[in-house]
Chain A
Amino acid sequence: MPKLTINGREVEVPAGTNLIEAARALGVEVPHYCYHPGLSIAGQCRLCMVDIEKTPRPTIACNTLAADGMVVLTETERVKETRRSIMEFHLINHPLDCPVCDQAGECWLQIYYMRHGLYDPRMTDEKVHKPKAVPLGPHVILDAERCILCSRCVRFCDEVTGTGELGIFHRGDQSEIGLFPGQELANKYSANVVDICPVGALTERDFRFAVRVWYLDVTKSVCPGCARGCNVEVHVNRRRPHHNEGRRVARLKPRFNADVNKWWICDAGRYGFKAVDDKTRLREPFRREAGTVTDASWDEAIAAVAGALERYAPDEVGVLASPRMANEDLFALRRVLERRGIRRVAFRVPPAVDGDQDEILIRADKNPNARGAELLGLDGDAAALLAAARARQVKCLWIFDHDLLASAWPEALVLGALGAVETLVWVGANANATSERAHWVLPAAAWVEREGTYTNFEGRVQRLRQAVEPLGQALPEWEILGRVLEALGAGARPPRAERWFRELAAATPAFAGLSYQAIGDGGQMVRA
Chain B
Amino acid sequence: MRALQRFYLVEVLSGVALTAAHFFRNMGRHAAHALGKKDARGAVTIQYPDERRPYSPRLRTLHRLVRREDGSPRCVACMMCETVCPAHCIYIVAAEHPNPEIEKVPARFDIDVGKCVFCGYCVEACPEDAIRMDTGILEFSSYTRGGMIYTKEALLALEPAGPDGHPRSPIPIPADRTP
Q: Report whether B93 and A99 are in contact in the complex, using a CB–CB cutoff of 8 Å.
A: no
Q: Report whether B91 and A100 are in contact in the complex, using a CB–CB cutoff of 8 Å.
A: no
Asked, given contacts A99-B127, A242-B93, whether A212 binds B101 with beta carbons under 8 Å apart, the answer is: no
B74 to chain A, nearest CB (A): 11
Q: Report whether A208 and B83 are in contact in the complex, using a CB–CB cutoff of 8 Å.
A: no
A-B contact count (CB 8 A): 38
A511 to chain B, nearest CB (A): 45
Partner pick for A99 among B78, B82, B100, B108, CB 8 A cutoff: B78
Q: Which residues A117-146 have CB closer than 8 A to chain B?
A: 131-133
Asked, given contacts A99-B76, A100-B103, A132-B101, whether A209 binds B95 with beta carbons under 8 Å apart, the answer is: yes
Chain A residues with CB under 8 Å of B77's CB are 100, 209
A240 touches B (CB below 8 Å): yes
Chain B residues with CB under 8 Å of A240's CB are 82
In the complex, A92 Cα to B127 Cα: how many Å?
20
B84 to chain A, nearest CB (A): 11
A97 touches B (CB below 8 Å): yes
Q: Report whether A100 and B82 are in contact in the complex, using a CB–CB cutoff of 8 Å.
A: no
B11 touches A (CB below 8 Å): no
Asked, given contacts A99-B127, A209-B96, whether A132 binds B82 with beta carbons under 8 Å apart, the answer is: no
In the complex, A104 Cα to B103 Cα: how many Å?
15
Dominant SS at the A interface? loop
In the complex, A389 Cα to B4 Cα: how many Å?
105
Partner pick for A209 among B80, B91, B104, B108, CB 8 A cutoff: B104
A405 to chain B, nearest CB (A): 37
In the complex, A429 Cα to B14 Cα: how many Å?
82
B116 touches A (CB below 8 Å): no
B138 touches A (CB below 8 Å): no
B125 to chain A, nearest CB (A): 11
Chain B residues with CB under 8 Å of A208's CB are 96
B70 to chain A, nearest CB (A): 18
Chain A residues with CB under 8 Å of B93's CB are 242-243
In the complex, A98 Cα to B83 Cα: how many Å?
15
In the complex, A237 Cα to B67 Cα: how many Å?
30
1/0 per residue B99-122: CB within 8 Å of A?
Answer: 011111000100000000000000
In the complex, A215 Cα to B82 Cα: how many Å?
11
Chain A residues with CB under 8 Å of B101's CB are 132
In the complex, A97 Cα to B128 Cα: how many Å?
11
Asked, given contacts A99-B128, A242-B93, whether A212 binds B79 with beta carbons under 8 Å apart, the answer is: yes
In the complex, A104 Cα to B77 Cα: how many Å?
13
B105 to chain A, nearest CB (A): 9
Q: Report whether A209 and B83 are in contact in the complex, using a CB–CB cutoff of 8 Å.
A: no
In the complex, A99 Cα to B108 Cα: how many Å?
17
Closest to B101 in A: A132
Q: Report whether A100 and B96 are in contact in the complex, using a CB–CB cutoff of 8 Å.
A: no
Q: Which residues B55-100 have CB closer than 8 A to chain A?
A: 76-80, 82-83, 91, 93-96, 100
Closest to B179 in A: A242
Q: Report whether B127 and A209 are in contact in the complex, using a CB–CB cutoff of 8 Å.
A: no
In the complex, A277 Cα to B78 Cα: how many Å?
25
Closest to A132 in B: B100
In the complex, A240 Cα to B108 Cα: how many Å?
14
B146 to chain A, nearest CB (A): 15
In the complex, A133 Cα to B102 Cα: how many Å?
10
Chain B residues with CB under 8 Å of A98's CB are 78, 127
In the complex, A131 Cα to B100 Cα: how many Å?
9
The 9 closest A-B pairs by CB, nearest first: A99-B78, A132-B100, A133-B100, A209-B94, A100-B104, A100-B103, A212-B79, A100-B76, A99-B127
What are 18 residue pairs bridging A and B, where the CB atoms are less than 8 Å apart in the complex? A97-B103, A98-B127, A99-B76, A99-B78, A99-B80, A99-B127, A100-B78, A100-B104, A132-B100, A132-B101, A209-B95, A209-B96, A212-B83, A214-B83, A215-B83, A240-B82, A242-B93, A243-B93
